[in-house]
Amino acid sequence: MSQTRRTAVALTLACVLTGTVQQPAHAEPGTPSTLPEVRAELRRLYRDAERATEKYNAVDEKVTQQEKRVRTLTSQVRAAERKLGRLTSLAGAAARAQYRSGGMPAEVQFVLSSDPETALDNASLTRRAQQSTQGVLTALAETREDLSTRKDDASEELDGLRANRRSMAAERRTIEKNIAAARKVESRLKAEQRRRLAALEEKEADEAQAEWERSGILDQVGTEATPAGRRAIAYATKQLGKPYVWGAEGPDSFDCSGLTSQAWLHAGVTIPRTSEEQWRQLTRIPVASMRPGDLIIYYDDASHVAIYIGDGEVIQAPRPGRWVYVSPVASMEILGVVRPDA
């Protein structure tokens, strides 16, 4: 959204929600001018923010995993270098021992078996070592070079991920500014105006839920959770009333996927951190076959998630300015259902 349009929207929100529907003098086409349009504009802003947050969370998770991978490879390189150094210092004695025995020196066998932390193919290395001590040294040198190359490649990939995370963070900050402007307008509303907006939101949710229930879906869905599902629901229930915060995974605040991933983690099941990855990696279940504990994925870009608790309701961390709460399952556009403990 351009700065001009943001200004026009903010001015129009102020006018509409204070009872004045006159458009600002230079409002752009499409600027909201009625309460339903204002509600739709606010919803769009919050959805944009949530999409940006989930994308940032996904990149952040990849950065964390890649940092761990680089640390592991660095450790392996150092271990290979230590082993190579020890073997090099033993080369003279090993050569003499090999000359005497005609086999793999005891010193070399000891060094190879005493350092299991490196990712060496010991079976292949042993075959080479049986041929000569020099073969052992050559194999170790090759292993070190291979590990070094992999570490360098991983470090380069990590730099790219960090740059992407910085870009995502900048995008999220821009959207957060838009949300802050919308919330500032909302904060100026009188009690009656707040009730009107809340009533409109509740009406939209109730209508969507009623249409969903008319399909007879509640007569088909499961009503019993698995033991793990019950533990996940119990955890989510304990979080009711806690605030939504960008990127939060508890214990004092959550975003949507932070809540669902932590709920299942406390049930003993590790699932992806973001709603997009939960949708991509977890087992998909027909909506009519869902049961309490399953995760409901929302919107066509899988940018929101909630945990189904039965009776047509979910627990979710909705958006900035709201708290973890119970809501109708169909209050938002359902993309599908996934099962963490399939």
- What's the rounded Cα separation, in Å, for the pair 326 and 209? 13
Structure tokens at 88: 């090099």
Phi, psi angle pair for 70, to nearest 5°: -65, -40
pLDDT at position 123 is 42
Work out the percent of the chain whose per-residue pLDDT is above 70.
69
- Can you list the domains of the chain with their CATH numbers? 34-188 (1.10.287), 216-339 (3.90.1720.10)
Among the listed ranges 25-39, 83-97, 108-122, which one has the minimum average pLDDT value?
108-122
Phi, psi angle pair for 309, to nearest 5°: -115, 0
- Burial classification of residue 292, based on how many CB atoms lie within 10 Å of its CB (0-12 exposed, 13-18 middle, 19 or more buried): buried
35 — pLDDT class (breaks 50, 70, 90) = low
4 — pLDDT class (breaks 50, 70, 90) = very low
pLDDT of 40-57, one tens digit each? Answer: 777 777 777 777 777 777
- What's the rounded Cα separation, in Å, for the pair 326 and 245? 17
Work out the percent of the chain whose per-residue pLDDT is above 90.
33
242 — pLDDT class (breaks 50, 70, 90) = very high
pLDDT at position 92 is 59
Among the listed ranges 84-88, 155-159, 249-253, which one has the minimum average pLDDT value?
84-88
Look up residue 341 and give its amino acid: D
| Averaged confidence pLDDT in the chain | 76
97 — pLDDT class (breaks 50, 70, 90) = low
Q: What is the mean pLDDT of residues 190-196?
A: 75
pLDDT at position 200 is 80
113 — pLDDT class (breaks 50, 70, 90) = low
Cα of 81 vs its chain's centroid, Å: 36
Of 51-65, 181-195, 300-314, highest mean pLDDT:
300-314
Distances from the Cα of 267 to the Cα of 82, 100, 232, 341, angstroms: 42, 61, 5, 10
Above 90 in pLDDT, residue 149? no
Q: Is there a contact between 39 and 197 (Cβ–Cβ < 8 Å)?
A: yes
Among the listed ranges 55-69, 101-115, 279-293, which one has the minimum average pLDDT value?
101-115
pLDDT at position 316 is 96
Q: What is the mean pLDDT of residues 24-53?
A: 63
102 or 206, greater pLDDT? 206
Peptide bond into 251 cis (omega under 30): yes
pLDDT at position 147 is 73
pLDDT of 114-132, one tens digit each? Answer: 454 444 445 444 444 445 5
